[in-house]
Amino acid sequence: MKIVVIGGTGMIGSKLVAKLGEHGHEAVAASPNTGVNTLTGEGLAEALEGAQVVIDVSNSPSFEDAAVLEFFQTSTRNLLAAEAAAGVGHHVALSVVGTERLPESGYFRAKIAQEQLIEKSKIPFSLVHATQFFEFTRSIADGATNDGEVRVAPVLFQPIAGDDVAQAVGRVAVGSPVNGRVEVAGPEQFRMDDFFRDALAAWDDPREVVTDPHARYFGSELSERSLVPGDGAILGQIRYRDWPGRTAPKK
């Protein structure tokens, strides 16, 4: 099966291409690095020729509200049009658990706009909503830091390893379109403030984690279950304490 991975040279995309190839699929990594640009349409028709499935794991280079909205709307429109012309039978997009619960975030509003375009198209689709990746733990802590304190809300948090995300997305992609959402999460739930205390301790990071019910996450206040999936989510296998990057030094 020919499967084109948009964003195929990125963190999740490169893992996906490798895993799909191991299972005998023709996995094509499509990104500006390989001559495929979803914003301009460059290289799309050629990359999608003969493809049965397209997986979109691309991300905006800018998280500024207007820029991220423009990226997801323009790239998704161009991609869907190219897929329709190529006769692609399954569009898979990676999104985020809780998008609809965090409307104050410009990034999540942009992801909702992307999903709405996919849902309104005539191409069968599957939306994979994943919880936050282990790989972004440090950047989340840095973004929550103010005057040397990491301010985090005491809400539920269920992060997942990037390898488990790629595994789940790949399985959805080779299956029948669900024409709806599939949720993917890590195997364990934590209190978010406790999780970051343990994470910083593993890095020998001297910053203090302060429990703050009003701490914002990508611009939004959080409720107890804003960041965790509902019942029936696909759970990854890798626990944070076993993840090789847990104690990786800061680059």
CATH number at residue 187: 3.40.50.720
Contact 209, 200 (CB under 8 A): yes
Q: Which domain holds residue 91?
A: 2-247
How many domains, the chain? 1
**Left (φ > 0), alpha (ψ -120 to 50) or beta: where does 221 sit?**
beta
As a whole number, mean pLDDT of residues 51-57 equals 98
Residue 251 has pLDDT above 60, yes or no: no
Residue 13 has pLDDT above 90, yes or no: yes
Residue 79: predicted pLDDT: 98
As a whole number, mean pLDDT of residues 100-128 equals 95
Q: Do the strands 145-146 and 26-30 form a parallel or antiparallel pair, or are they unpaired?
A: unpaired
- What is the pLDDT confidence band of residue 218, given thresholds at 50, 70 and 90? confident
As a whole number, mean pLDDT of residues 232-241 equals 96
Contact 131, 165 (CB under 8 A): no
Residue with tokens 């979109």, as numbered in its chain: 56
Q: Rounded to two decimals, what is the model's pTM? A: 0.94
Contact 156, 192 (CB under 8 A): yes
As a whole number, mean pLDDT of residues 10-29 equals 96
The rounded distance, in Å, linking the Cα atoms of 153 and 217 is: 9
Amino acid at 166: A
- What is the pLDDT confidence band of residue 176, given thresholds at 50, 70 and 90? very high
DSSP 74-117: HHHHHHHHHHHHHT--EEEEEEETTGGG-TT-HHHHHHHHHHHH
